């Protein structure tokens, strides 16, 4: 039989070993969780258009609204949409936390129109047989704008448009906004108008998840 003192020393040693193992397990878990948390934070910032650091440690600048279209624009977009509205659309678009909701937004503001049948040469057959029309809703009125104004206001590439419309074609059931067209509101951006824009975005039917893979 071992002396009582020796048994106590062994028990103390075993407790210390278990304690060290527990600390090591917790430490490894914390390190993994911090790494995962950092990736999630970076991904969230990316989706929101905020400044963030990517996995390579490179600092990526946040999204900023682009410039107006040229003065020669045939749609005269600059006379239709004040900067306050452009700021509002930019901010609300980038508050949408995932690509799916952003695609919904785009699909509700871009219309793809088939071109009229015309005689074409073999060299022209590779060109698109459709055109796109871009819109923003100002005080519930549908205002057509040019592609440059649309892309620059939201700070997105044309590939975003192509992706959103492709997913719509593949099965996303999105309906045209059918709210009232009344214009009895002041020109100033009131809280009510800002809420309307937010509600307008939130009313978009979501593309089913199996179409976003």
Q: What is the DSSP annotation of 81-135? A: S-HHHHHHHHHHHHHS-SHHHHHHHHHTTEEEEEPPP----GGGTTS-SEEEEEE
Domain hosting 22: range is 4-60
Say which residue, 210 or 171, is predicted with more confidence: 171
- Assigned domain for 137 exists: yes
Residue 6 pLDDT level (bands cut at 50, 70, 90): low
Looking at the structure, tell me whether residues 187 and 136 fall in a common domain. yes
The total of structural domains in the chain comes to 2
- Assigned domain for 65 exists: no
- Assigned domain for 66 exists: no
Query: Which tens digit of pLDDT belongs to each residue from 90-139?
Result: 999 988 878 888 888 999 999 988 877 655 565 555 456 889 999 999 88
Looking at the structure, tell me whether residues 202 and 144 fall in a common domain. yes
pLDDT at residue 204 above 50? yes
Looking at the structure, tell me whether residues 46 and 20 fall in a common domain. yes
Hey, how many other C-beta atoms are within 10 angstroms of the C-beta on 150?
24
Looking at the structure, tell me whether residues 11 and 113 fall in a common domain. no
- Assigned domain for 174 exists: yes
pLDDT at residue 21 above 80? no
Average pLDDT of the chain to the nearest whole number: 71
Per-residue CA distances from 172 to 94, 106, 113 (Å): 21, 13, 18
Report pTM: 0.58
Looking at the structure, tell me whether residues 84 and 26 fall in a common domain. no
- pLDDT for 185 equals 44
Looking at the structure, tell me whether residues 26 and 53 fall in a common domain. yes
Looking at the structure, tell me whether residues 26 and 100 fall in a common domain. no
Percentage of residues in the chain having pLDDT higher than 90: 21
Average pLDDT estimate for 194-200: 60
- Assigned domain for 11 exists: yes
Query: Which tens digit of pLDDT belongs to each residue from 50-93?
Result: 666 777 777 777 788 889 999 899 999 999 889 999 999 999 99
- Assigned domain for 72 exists: no
Say which residue, 160 or 39, is predicted with more confidence: 160
Residue 187 pLDDT level (bands cut at 50, 70, 90): very low
Looking at the structure, tell me whether residues 40 and 130 fall in a common domain. no
- Among the candidates 60, 86, 106, a domain finishes at 60
Give bridge partners of residue 141 from the DSSP assignment. Answer: 138
| Residue with tokens 């892309």, as numbered in its chain | 151
- Assigned domain for 68 exists: no
Q: How far, in Å, CA of 127 to CA of 115, rounded?
A: 11
């Amino acid at each position: 039989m071992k002396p009582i003192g020796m048994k106590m020393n062994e028990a103390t040693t075993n407790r210390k070993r278990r304690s060290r193992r527990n600390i090591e397990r917790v430490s490894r878990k914390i390190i993994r969780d911090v790494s995962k948390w950092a990736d999630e934070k970076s991904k969230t910032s990316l989706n929101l258009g905020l400044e963030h650091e990517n996995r390579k440690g490179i600092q990526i600048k946040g999204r900023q609204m682009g410039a107006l279209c040229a003065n020669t624009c045939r749609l005269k977009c600059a006379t239709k949409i004040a900067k306050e509205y452009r700021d509002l659309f930019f901010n609300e678009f980038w508050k949408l936390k995932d690509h799916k909701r952003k695609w919904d937004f785009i699909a509700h503001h871009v219309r793809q129109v088939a071109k009229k049948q015309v005689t074409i040469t073999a060299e022209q057959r590779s060109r698109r047989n459709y055109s796109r029309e871009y819109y923003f809703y100002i005080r519930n009125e549908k205002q057509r704008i040019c592609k440059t104004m649309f892309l620059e206001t939201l700070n997105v590439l044309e590939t975003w448009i192509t992706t959103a419309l492709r997913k719509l074609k593949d099965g996303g059931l999105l309906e045209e906004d059918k709210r009232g067209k009344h214009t009895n509101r002041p020109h100033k951006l009131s809280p009510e108008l800002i809420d309307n824009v937010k509600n307008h975005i939130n009313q978009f039917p979501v593309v089913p998840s199996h179409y976003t893979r």
